Amino acid sequence: MAKELLKGNNAMAEAAIRAGCEAYFGYPITPQTELLEHMAARMPELGRAFVQAESEVAAINMVYGTACTGKRVMTSSSSPGVSLMTEGLSYIAGTEVPMVLIDVMRGGPGLGNIAPAQGDYNQMVRGGGHGDYKSIVLAPASVQEAIDLTVLAFDLAEKYRAIAVVLADGSLGQMMEPAELPEMQPLRKGTPDWAITGEPGRPRRLLTSIYLQPEAEETTNIRLQRRWLDVEANEVRYQETYLDDADIALVAFGTAGRVALSAVRQARAEGIKVGLFRPISLSPFPVAQIRQLASRVRSLLVVEMNAGQMLDDVKLAAQGACPVEFYGRMGGVVPLPDEVLAEILRVSTHPTADLNGHTRAAWLDRLEAGRGGN
C-alpha cells in the first residue's frame, strides 16, 4: 500500500482495526482522543463493537468481558485514564486473557497536563495493577512504528495470553508522518480453546482471577512467571544506531529516542563517537544487550521524558560495567536536541565515574541551572 500522511492516534486506531480488533471500549482523554474518535467512526461501519463507556473503570471491565470470549479487543487512554483502569488490568492479567492497551502518555503526576511525557514507564513496565504479573510493553518512536507495534501487540497478547501495551506519548499521538498501513486482515474464524463462548455440550471452561486456596493461586502465579520467561527469551526488541565505534551510548525510548537521534547526529558532526540504543520492547527489557553495550563503551547516557524511570533498569542491566549518566525533562516538557547535545559534550569531556549513586541529584542540579528563569 502507498504511504499516507497519518496522525499517530488515527494510525494506531486503523492499524488495530486492520489487525482484526473486533471490539473497542474507551473514554475520551487528550492527547489520545482522535484514537477513540477514529474507532467511533470506523468500528460501526465494519459491524464491530464500539462503546464509549461511562468511565475508564467501566471500559476496562468491558474489555475484560470481551477478552474472555477470545475476540481481539482493546482500549486506549492517557495517563490518568490508565490509572483508573489498573484494577481491571490486574484482573485481566490474573485471568490470563489477552488484550491490547494503548497509552498515549501526558504530563503528570495527577491531572497534570496534556503535553507529551514518559512518566508512566514504571506503571506500565511493572504491570500497573496489584499482584505479580507483567505486561508486554512496546514503545514506538514514529507513526510507522506505532502502526507496526499495534499489529504486533495483538499477536503477542494472544500468543502469551497477556496484556500488550503500546506505550506512546502525546507527541506521537498528535504528530503526522508518512506511513503505510497494513492490509486488512480477515477476522479469525473460531475461538481459542480457552475462550468462553456459551456453547452447550462441550466440557466446561473456567476463566477467573479468584483462587481462594493460596496453593492454587500460587500454581497460577507459577504459570504466569514461566510464561514470562518465554516472553523474555523471545520478544526483546531494540534498535541500534551509530553504535559500532561509539565511546558513548545514549539509551532512550519513544519520542526521547528521536530527540536523542538528532543530538547524536549533531555530536557525530562534531567528531564525537556517540551512538544510540533505543529499546523498543520496554518489557521485556533488553537486559543482555545493554549489559554487553556497557562493557564496550566508556559511558551510557540515559535520556527520558521523566525523572529517570528506565534509568534504574539500565543501571541494573549495566551492572556497574560503566558509568550511567542521566538527562530528563519532566511534566510534559519535551527536551530539545540542543540540550541533549550539551549533555553528550559534557559526558564526552568529563567522563567522570557516576558510580556513587548520585545520578539524579547531579542531574537535578544541572536541570535547575539550565532552566534559569523558567
Interface residues with another protein (CB under 8 A) are 3, 5, 30-31, 114-115, 142, 170-171, 174-178, 255, 258-263, 265, 334, 336-338
In angstroms, what is the minimal distance from the CB of 305 to another protein?
A: 12
Q: Looking at beta carbons only, is 231 or 305 nearer to another protein?
A: 305
Q: CB of 251 within 8 A of CB of 201?
A: no
In angstroms, what is the minimal distance from the CB of 338 to another protein?
A: 5
Q: Looking at beta carbons only, is 171 or 299 nearer to another protein?
A: 171
Q: Looking at beta carbons only, is 8 or 128 nearer to another protein?
A: 8
End-to-end CA distance of the chain: 46
Q: Looking at beta carbons only, is 213 or 374 nearer to another protein?
A: 374
In angstroms, what is the minimal distance from the CB of 124 to another protein?
A: 22
Q: Looking at beta carbons only, is 172 or 300 nearer to another protein?
A: 172
Q: CB of 76 within 8 A of CB of 27?
A: no
Q: What phi and psi, each to the nearest 5 degrees, are found at residue 277?
A: -110, 115
> Which of 374, 305, 370, 349 lies closest to 121, judged by CA?
305
Q: CB of 275 within 8 A of CB of 250?
A: yes
Q: Looking at beta carbons only, is 174 or 185 nearer to another protein?
A: 174
In angstroms, what is the minimal distance from the CB of 115 to another protein?
A: 8
> Which of 70, 68, 63, 6 lies closest to 38, judged by CA?
6
3-state SS, 5-40, equals: EEEHHHHHHHHHHHCCCCEEEECCCCCCHHHHHHHH
CA–CA gap between residue 199 and residue 207 (Å, rounded): 15
In angstroms, what is the minimal distance from the CB of 257 to another protein?
A: 9
In angstroms, what is the minimal distance from the CB of 179 to another protein?
A: 10
Q: Looking at beta carbons only, is 46 or 176 nearer to another protein?
A: 176
Q: What is the CA radius of gyration of the chain?
A: 21
DSSP state letter for 70: T
In angstroms, what is the minimal distance from the CB of 132 to another protein?
A: 38
Q: What phi and psi, each to the nearest 5 degrees, are found at residue 240?
A: -115, 135
Element (H, E) at 243: none
